[in-house]
């Protein structure tokens, strides 16, 4: 394993000048090459053209996210970790026989869950309060 890391570092250091040259090439030239490599990679995973369709759909979604100034990182994080989180949640519920109290079983888990719930609930409550506040002023 250490030998693989050493070879990886040597390979990375040897290819840095090549990647620096690629950065100087206009994006209009590099973008089609990147898309072509992505299409080849999507097809070679399962040799299915449906994977290329999914690549195109998620490419359009990513483009729309960028145009509408939505952060892309949470979307990618959800796509990568979503399945593992669902499996862990399902396993926890099966172990606890369907009881949600397992997520508040000790102080550390309870505090993390409470903080997560608060981060979701507080912005929604503030927005609801601000929307309701002008109607209270008009009634008085």
Q: Are 75 and 65 contacting, i.e. CB atoms less than 8 angstroms apart?
A: yes
Confidence band, pLDDT 50/70/90 cuts, at residue 119? very high
In tens, the pLDDT along 122-139 reads 998 998 888 887 665 555
Q: Are 110 and 104 contacting, i.e. CB atoms less than 8 angstroms apart?
A: yes
How wide is the angle at C-alpha 32 spanned by C-alphas 30 and 35, nearest 5°? Answer: 110
User: Which residue matches tokens 């040597």?
Assistant: 10
Q: Is the pLDDT of residue 112 over 60?
A: yes
Q: In whole angstroms, what is the distance from residue 102 CA to residue 95 CA? A: 9
Q: Is the pTM of this model over 0.75?
A: no
């Amino acid at each position: 394993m250490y030998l693989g890391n050493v070879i990886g570092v040597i390979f990375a250091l040897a290819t840095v000048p090549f990647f620096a040259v690629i950065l100087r090439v206009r994006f209009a030239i590099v973008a089609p090459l990147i898309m072509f490599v992505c299409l080849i990679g999507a097809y070679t995973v399962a040799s299915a053209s449906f994977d290329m369709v999914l690549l195109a759909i998620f490419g359009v979604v990513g483009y729309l996210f960028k145009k509408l100034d939505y952060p892309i990182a949470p979307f990618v994080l959800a796509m990568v970790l979503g399945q593992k989180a669902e499996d862990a949640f399902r396993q926890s519920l099966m172990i606890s026989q369907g009881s949600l109290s397992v997520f508040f079983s000790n102080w550390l888990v309870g505090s993390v869950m409470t903080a997560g719930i608060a981060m979701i609930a507080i912005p929604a409550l503030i927005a609801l309060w601000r929307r309701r506040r002008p109607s209270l002023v008009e009634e008085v």
